[in-house]
Amino acid sequence: MEREIVTILDTTLRDGLRNSGVTMTLEEKLRVARWLEEIGASVIEAGFGGPRQIESMRQIATAVSAPIVTGISRVNLKDVRRVIEAVKAARRPGINIFVPTSDAFLGKIDGARERALDSAITAIRYAKDYLEYVEFSVQDATRSDRGFLVTVFSAAIEAGASVLGVADTVGHALPEEFGALLRHLRETVPRGKDVIWSVHCHNELGLAVANSLAAIAGGARQVECTIDGIGERAGNTPMQSVVRALHERADAFATVKPGVRFAQVAAAAKLLPAIIAGDRS
């Protein structure tokens, strides 16, 4: 049986630089983007799409040809348009539209869920008119009502999203919980087996890698991560660790394989420290 590919969405240039203490010049961002293309990363998330990031996102979009280049956006159409403008020069442009779904993020306000759902549908439909790759992600999924998650993801598929992102935004989940959530969503959401499920974990409990692997076992086929796990607070899922686990524990993950070149991933251990140290060679 042919093994399914687990693709890598690398968000080093977006979430990895968010309040992490790591900064990069434009040339350093381009260096990272080209290296990610070299190892076979499927998606490079280039930025948030804020006014100050537009130009660097455009530069990244034209610096690579094989990966999909995305920006992340709130459901606000102004933000969606800005991301589309920033990445449209890419050979393979895309967008990741997100909305919070937990009461902790939405607030227990009458109509909050309905407004979030309506805004998400509008944003996805708008983006789909311009881009083939449209991911829809839910923020704080692991503390959200499962019934509402099913409703939102079902609507997102109908609106045109082909990748569905499940975020453990505050690093709350345990592996068995996160894996079970992925299985539930994949099996319960109509057409849930026709889309790609992507996971975005944070490391507050030191479980970002374990949760990502549990999600893969539950049916996820894309992992959102950063080089060395850099990111705000306790950081993101370290890309190298996920790839190494899938490669070296092929006995436990017999049906999947990483979509990046494992032999070249080790170079990341030198790439980021060199950039932080100012080595532009």
Does residue 281 lie in a domain region? no
Instruction: Count structural domains, the chain.
Output: 1
pLDDT of residue 280: 46
Helix, strand, coil tally for the chain in percent (to 5): 45, 20, 35
pTM for this structure? 0.95
Q: What is the pLDDT of residue 270?
A: 78
Whether 31 and 270 have beta carbons less than 8 Å apart is answered as no
pLDDT at 96: 98
Within the chain, which residues score under 70 in pLDDT? 276-281
Range of the domain at 197: 4-276
Task: Report which of 43, 125, 34, 49 is spatially closest to residue 84, judged by C-alpha positions.
Answer: 49
Residue 155 is inside which H or E element, if any?
helix 146-159
Q: Residue 198: enclosing H or E segment and its boundaries?
A: strand 196-201
Residues 235/205, Cβ–Cβ less than 8 Å:
no
Query: What CATH number is given to the structural domain containing 71?
Result: 3.20.20.70
- Residue 271 confidence (pLDDT): 79
Domain-embedded: residue 67: yes
